[in-house]
Amino acid sequence: MSDGDAEHQLVVRFIETRDERTFATLYERHTPRMWGLALRLTGGAEAEASDIVQEAWTRAVSNLHRFRGEAKLSSWLCGICTNVWRERLRRRKPETALDDQTLDPCCGASAMGDIIDVREALNALAPGYRAVVVLYAIYGFSHAEIADLLGISVGTSKSQLSRARSALRAATGAHDRPGAPKP
């Protein structure tokens, strides 16, 4: 039996029995990945990341009957986390859209010049850029999957990744180091 089959069986068991131990198993397996994603999407805001994970689990449990096992459960759960984050972002800043034309690559040139830590540079990216970098480079989603998760085109995902990488290189001074790739 594959890991995917075992996960799907746990999901089915939980749906049928609402067994607390089965849920605890699912929660323990997937929360660290969801937490890491939420933490990166929020730019390190732990309280907000916790709220996102909690809301994602609430939605997941309510909709678990919709999980068909066609994708990994972890991918499905991370998609829910991403959607919760996007909804919170929209409520907070309704003028902010996740598209090419409204996102700046970073918070400001002078502030970015002082940042040498990659995590800080990532956190300083505009939310849409940060989302694409996190989903692509850290979580391994394809551009098609990112486009679906964020409601953008594949081309927008690719261009946001390219711009985010340029901003990260500029922020960390990576293009100034010997042997570093040029933007």
Topology (CATH level 3) of domain 1-95: Rna Polymerase Sigma Factor; Chain: A (1.10.1740)
> What single DSSP character describes residue 136?
I
Confidence of residue 179 (pLDDT cuts 50, 70, 90): low
Question: What angle in degrees, to the nearest 10, is found between the helix axes of 3-17 and 73-92?
Answer: 70
Residue with more model confidence, 88 or 110: 88
User: Hey, what amino acid is at 86?
Assistant: R
Asked if the model's pLDDT at residue 182 lies above 70, the reply is no
pLDDT score at 157 = 95
Compute the distance between CA of residue 102 and CA of residue 90 in angstroms, rounded to an integer. Answer: 13
Compute the distance between CA of residue 151 and CA of residue 157 in angstroms, rounded to an integer. Answer: 10
User: Hey, what amino acid is at 6?
Assistant: A
How many angstroms from the chain centroid is the CA of residue 34? 8
Note the pLDDT tens digit of each residue in 42-76: 999 999 999 999 999 999 999 998 888 778 899 89
pLDDT score at 90 = 85
pLDDT score at 155 = 96
How many angstroms from the chain centroid is the CA of residue 131? 5
> What single DSSP character describes residue 54?
H
Q: Which residue is it, tokens 């400001």?
A: 108
Note the pLDDT tens digit of each residue in 92-128: 754 444 443 333 444 444 433 343 477 788 888 999 9
Asked if the model's pLDDT at residue 137 lies above 80, the reply is yes
Prediction pTM value = 0.71
How many angstroms from the chain centroid is the CA of residue 70? 20
Q: Where are the domains of the chain?
A: 1-95, 104-175
Compute the distance between CA of residue 76 and CA of residue 26 in angstroms, rounded to an integer. Answer: 13
pLDDT score at 1 = 61
CA atoms within 13 A on the CB side of 81: 30
Compute the distance between CA of residue 125 and CA of residue 103 in angstroms, rounded to an integer. Answer: 9
Contact 119, 133 (CB under 8 A): no
Contact 125, 164 (CB under 8 A): yes
Topology (CATH level 3) of domain 104-175: Arc Repressor Mutant, subunit A (1.10.10)
